[in-house]
Amino acid sequence: MIDRLRSVNDVKIYSAFDDEFKPFGRIVEGFDFSAAIEYAKENTDIPESGNIYVASDSELEKFDVFGKLQNTLYGEMPIQAGFCNGKNTTYNGFEYHKGSEVNIAVTDFMLVLGHTWQISENKFYVGNEKVFYVPKGTAIEMFQTTLHLSPCRCNDGGFKDIVVLPRGTNTPLEHKADCAEGEGRLLLQKNKWVIAHKDREPLIKQGAYAGLIGENKELKY
């Protein structure tokens, strides 16, 4: 799969198992996510177009592995488990959170990643990112300094991704008026800072800051 992705794209495609991934995150080992993956495979849908994101899925959160994940990797801080499914192929923008995000690949997908310290005056320039292939069945932790957004698909069928975050992330803000300057301009939802490409209409309509500068690149498969 990764050889094919490398052959059809004009950006380098790394594997999440490559050393280049280490500044962005790590492979999560020691957890059995197989039952959760099977649940997501059988009980969550891929939309005909675009993406669907559910921050907290109560049925998914019943799996014991997420309790173990909360008590260990997240140091007993409360977490939520949901999913992001779709057919996305373009960069669109970046987001980051204050706290790690765990992604569990139900299917193969690609992730476009950057670093928060590459943002200058609320702008990130295309060309500073790296693209990583994440094979199905892989669980990764992305550090809170890692810029990311929706996965990109590796086939016509789309992608499925289980997403674990500190509880309350990606829910509506209650004090948006307090965040009118500086980094606050990027705060779109609770614990979700976003810079969008100006052409990514769904994000711009939500109020995302147009700070991704350059081509909204499309990844091929």
The structural domain count of the chain equals 1
User: Which tens digits make up the pLDDT trace of 80-122?
Assistant: 999 999 999 999 999 999 999 999 999 999 999 999 999 999 9
Q: Which two tokens stand for residue 164?
A: 């674990």
Q: Give me the domain span that covers residue 58.
A: 2-172
Q: Which two tokens stand for residue 160?
A: 């499925």
User: Which tens digits make up the pLDDT trace of 148-169?
Assistant: 999 999 999 999 999 999 999 9
pLDDT grade for 205, boundaries at 50, 70 and 90: very high
Average pLDDT, stretch 178-202? 95
E-strand spans in 88-170?
93-96, 101-105, 109-115, 124-125, 130-134, 139-142, 146-147, 159-166
For residue 117, the domain's CATH number is 2.60.120.10
Question: Environment class of residue 7 by beta-carbon count within 10 Å: exposed (0-12), middle (13-18) or buried (19+)?
Answer: exposed
With 90 as the cut, is the pLDDT of residue 194 above it?
A: yes
Query: Is 162 within the bounds of a domain?
Result: yes
Query: Is 196 within the bounds of a domain?
Result: no
Give the pLDDT of residue 176: 86
Query: Is 45 within the bounds of a domain?
Result: yes
